[in-house]
Structure 1
C-alpha cells in the first residue's frame, strides 16, 4: 500500500477501480468481423473443434471462422438490434434485440440428448434462408 493509499484510507475516502475503462471513453460496444454468420452466446468455454460443433457448422454451411463466441457479460456490450443469428447455449441467458435466435442446452447436455439435437435442428431449419443448410 502506498503512502497516498494510506492517507486516503485514513481520511475515509474509498478508492474505486475502473474495470472497463473503454466504456468511460465512449468505446462501448463489441464489434464483429464482417464475415460473422453466427454468434454463440454461452458462459462455458467452448472448443469450436468439437465434432458436434463441426457437424452443426457444416450443416449450416459455415466454418468456425464465421463464428464468434461471447459470454453474458459481453452480450450487454453488443449494440441492438442484433441482425446476426445467435445461438444461446444454456437457458440462463435471454438476450434482447435478437432477430434470429436458437436455444439449446449447454454443449455437454446437447451431445447426449437426441431430442435436444432435433429441437436445435428444427430451429436452425426454420431460418434456413440465412444459412445454406444441407444434410450431412
Structure 2
C-alpha cells in the first residue's frame, strides 16, 4: 500500500470516488457569467467593507455583477465579454495576471490597505470615472430597451 492508501485506511476509508473527476481532465475553468461587469482579483476578502460597497454603488453594480477571485482562481477564468479587471496585487503578480487579460481594461492597486490613503483612493476614483462609460455601454448592449 502507498502512503495515501495507508492514511485512508487509518481513517476507515477503504474506497473513495472523486466527486468532480472532470477537474483531473483539465476542466477546472471558472466560467464567468455574462452579467459580471467587474472582476476583482485580491487575496484578501474585502467584499463586505464599506469602501467596496461604496465602489459598487458608484459604479451602479449589483452583487451579481461582480466576481471576487484570488490570483490562482483568476488563472482559470474564462469569459467571452469585456468586464473590467481590478487587480489588487503586488506589482510582480499583477503583471503576470494582466498578461492573461491583455485585451481587458484593468485597474491596479498593490494592496487593499493602499486605499486608506487619499492619493490612492483618488487615483482609483479617477480610474473608475474614466471607465464608467465602458460599464454603461456594456449594460446598454445587454439591455437594449433600458
TM-score when normalising by structure 1: 0.71
Contact 1:80 1:97 in 2 (8 A): no
1:43-91 residue CA offsets vs partner (Å, 9 max, x unmatched) = 1122x22111111111111022211111111121123787211111133
Higher normalized helix content (fraction of residues)? 2
CA RMSD of aligned residues (A): 2.6
**Is 2:39 the partner of 1:39?**
yes
| Residue number in structure 2 paired with 1:130 | 134
Aligned residues: 116
1:83 maps to 82
Residue from 87, 108, 112 that aligns with 1:107:
112
- The residue aligned with 2:2 is 5
Q: Where in structure 2 are there 5+ consecutive unaligned residues? A: 4-19, 137-146
1:126–1:71 CA distance, 2 compared to 1 (3 A) = same
CA distance, structure 1, for counterparts of residue 79 and residue 64 of structure 2: 23
Q: Give ranges in structure 1 of 5+ residues lacking alignment.
A: 7-19
Deviation above 6 Å: which 4+ runs of structure 1?
Answer: none
